[in-house]
Structure formats: C-alpha cells, structure tokens
Structure 1
Amino acid sequence: MAITGTLEDREEVRALHARYCLTIDAGRYDEWVDCFTEDGVFESPRFGKHSGRAGLERFAALHKESLGGAQVLHVVANPAFELDGASGTGTAYLVFYHCKDGRVQQSTVGYYTDKLRKTPAGWRFASRQVTILGHH
C-alpha cells in the first residue's frame, strides 16, 4: 500500500483512530459522535447500522446500556489507509476488551473498514463498518 496524503493529514487520521477509542471507552459520547461526518454511518454485526448524528447518538446510548456497568477498552492496531485529496479509505484491526468484577470477561477481535472525509473541522469517518471474526 502506497503512502498517500500529506504527513499532516496522515497524522490527523491516526489521531482520529485514537480519539474514536478513547472517547467511547471514557463515555464521552458527544466527542465520539464528533469522530464522524454529519451524515456519518456506523455499522456493526451486534448493533446494526446507524446513520447521521441522531443515529450515532442512539448507537452510543445502546452501547452504554449494553455495558451493564462493565469497563471496556477498544484497541486499534495496524491502521492502513489511502488518502486522495479530501477523501480516503482504510482498515484497522480491532481488539475489544470487556472488563467486569476484576477480570476480563470477553475479548473480541475483528477489523474496521473505513471511508474517510476531510471536513472543515478536520478528518472524520464518513463510514465505519465493524467485522467481528467468527461472527456471522
């Protein structure tokens, strides 16, 4: 995969990946929604497809409810992406830990498939689809 886009743009996309994980894990759901474009889409096998700011806010509420008081940790690894002007595509590995009662109760592995867009506020996910390994 060729290195595309400016170094500044590439660094901003890497920061976006981190901000996505840090905000949802800390329960800062408004900041998590801000990782997406206004018409952004998030899709997962567990929670379905959610579009636009209102849809992403609904997903965040479902996610919070699903935790049952557990702490979670999203880890993104191997982000690989191609940028072409103000848009891009990419993937990243996902490792997700679900921690409750002093132990890791569940870990999930998979990957994200992303469409990226540069907005006046910076790079955002136009869409982010989760694939969970071993999940049909």
Structure 2
Amino acid sequence: MAANDDLIEIQQLLARYAVTITKGDIEGLIGVFTPDGSYSAFGDTYTLDVFPELVDAAPKGLFLTGTPLIELDGDSGTGTQPLCFVEQSTHDMRIGYYTDTYRRTDKGWRLATRAMTFIRRSGIHDSGIPHAFERPSA
C-alpha cells in the first residue's frame, strides 16, 4: 500500500473516532483502537475495558477535529490532531489536541494510543484535572 493510501486510511480512522464518539457509538469508538489500545487524559491512562464508563461520564456534544499531522514509519506512526469540543446543552467549548500512535493491524490501521491535551485560556497546555474520572473498583 502506498504512503498516500495509508494517510487516507488513517484520516478516515480518525474521522470514525470523532463521528462515533459524537453519536455515542461506543462499540464503533472502541473499534478504532488496537485491542491493547489506551486513552490518556486527566492525569491518567485508561485501557479499553474502562473506556465505555469514561465516555459515559464525559459531557456530550460535538467533536470537531482538524486534519492530523501524521508521520509514518513502516507499520507504525505518530500524529497530532487538533480538536474543538462543543458541549451540547451550553455550547461551551473545549479546545486542544490529540497526540497519537498508530499501528497497522490485520484489520487495517488502528489507534494504539491517544492522549488529550487541553489548551486553556491562560495559554497553558495540560492533560486535564487529575482524577476527574473515578475508575470502577476492581
């Protein structure tokens, strides 16, 4: 597969992330990750088994993502994608960017890791308020 085909496939994967999370399609959202994938925010890293609860606890709204900057190296890659989240009931916005790693699998390209960085009005870039989400007890 040519590099341009890989870039298009990854861009579509990231579009699927934004659309599925906006629509509340948790199965579709989990499907964009590798089975061992993870999401980082709020000072912690979450595995896919707790991702449904993390998404359920988060505000609902529209995830607007920009064109990602992607670097590929064989069957893996890294990237950064801008994000503007608009909360559905107040239309308050959160802005920031995702920092990603990608891996080619037998099902195509998937997110291996996704980390959220928020951009604050002060200009500070951070991963959010620690412990904003309580993990279920084991």
TM range (shorter): 0.7 to 0.9
1:1-136 alignment to 2 at 5 Å?
A: 6-45=3-42, 48-51=44-47, 53-54=48-49, 58-67=50-59, 71-100=60-89, 103-104=90-91, 106-134=92-120, 136=126
Contact persistence 1:116–1:124 (CA under 8 A): yes
Write the letter of the residue equivalent to 1:96: F
The C-alpha deviation readout for 1:9-40, integer Å capped at 9, x for no partner, is 11000001100010011111011011111110
Offset, 1:112: 0.7
Q: Secondary structure at the match of 2:24?
A: coil
The structure with the greater share of residues assigned to strand is 1
Unaligned runs of 5+ in 2: 127-138
Counterpart amino acid of residue 35 in structure 1: V
Separation in 2 of the partners of 1:114 and 1:63? 18
Contact 2:11 2:67 in 1 (8 A): no
How has the CA–CA distance of structure 1 residues 32 and 7 changed in structure 2, closer, same or farther, with 3 Å as cutoff? Answer: same
The ranges of structure 1 where at least 4 consecutive aligned residues each deviate by more than 6 angstroms after the TM superposition are: none
State TM-score, norm by structure 1: 0.82
Give the total of aligned pairs.
121
Query: Aligned residues: percent identity?
Result: 35
What is the alpha-carbon distance in structure 1 between the residues aligned to residue 57 and residue 36 of structure 2? 24
Kept in 2, the 8 Å contact 1:45–1:132? The answer is: no
Compare the two structures and name the one with the higher helix fraction.
1
Deviation at 1:62, TM superposition (A): 2.8
